[in-house]
Amino acid sequence: MKILVCISSVPDTTSKINFTADQSAFDKNGIQWVINPLDEFGLTKAIKLQESAGATVTVINVGDSTTEPVIRKSLAIGANDAIRINIEPKDSYSVAKEIANIAQSGGYDLIFCGKESIDYNGGAVPGMVAQLLNQPFINACVGLEVNGAEATAVREIEGGKETISVKLPAVIAGQKGLVDEKDLIIPNMRGIMSARSKPLTVREPVNNEVKVDAVSFDAVPARAAVKMVAPDNLDELVRLLHEEAKVI
């Protein structure tokens, strides 16, 4: 079994987000980059299949050389090799085209993506990859069992969960629940050392078509000042909620 895991490099959730002076681009200075958490669930599931079914796991990232530390961490977690498409991602379509191009010639049985990335929260890449490859697509996947050329998946739907069967190859967009959080792998020293010698292939992009262009960014408005009310002054609290907050 061959598995391709799509990895996105995103700002750590504790990073302070700023934009350039003209608000036209994200300011990357001082940002700590990590594996997109939802991608990490897919990577961990792939490593489990590596252990139980002898699968080979390849990670793929669309990004410039600054993403390589995140790719190396994926290798330290247990992936066999990695591919980096040497282009700064501009929109979901161009990213999906690059991933689909690699997947088309790679003969992968499973392609794991995170349901969305935690930076732009677009959630479009997995479905686009499946469409470009003409493969079955399971979104919001919280459980997966593979048996030969067929997989049984559990996915979240409004008001509950749905269990479905799918023929491989297929694209899986995973999220929290695909594996338990306690099973997420923290690289040990042996994994970190072995990652240095694992193959990381850099490919040039085959597609430069960008369908979406960001015009400007707006920062989140500063939080309004807080009014403190003494715990025994309920009348004043009710008045403020009614007259100023207008929530009652």
CB-count burial class (<10 Å; 0-12, 13-18, 19+) for 171: buried
Q: Residues 41, 140: contact at Cβ < 8 Å?
A: no
Q: Write down the domain spans for the chain.
A: 2-221
Full-model pTM: 0.87
Mean pLDDT, the chain cut into blocks of 10 residues (248 residues total)? 97 87 85 95 97 96 96 97 95 95 95 94 95 97 95 94 96 96 93 95 90 84 84 91 88
The pLDDT, as a whole number, for residue 87 is 94
The pLDDT, as a whole number, for residue 54 is 94
* Fold held by 2-221: Rossmann fold (3.40.50)
**Cα(186)–Cα(150) distance, integer angstroms:** 30
**Cα(209)–Cα(204) distance, integer angstroms:** 14
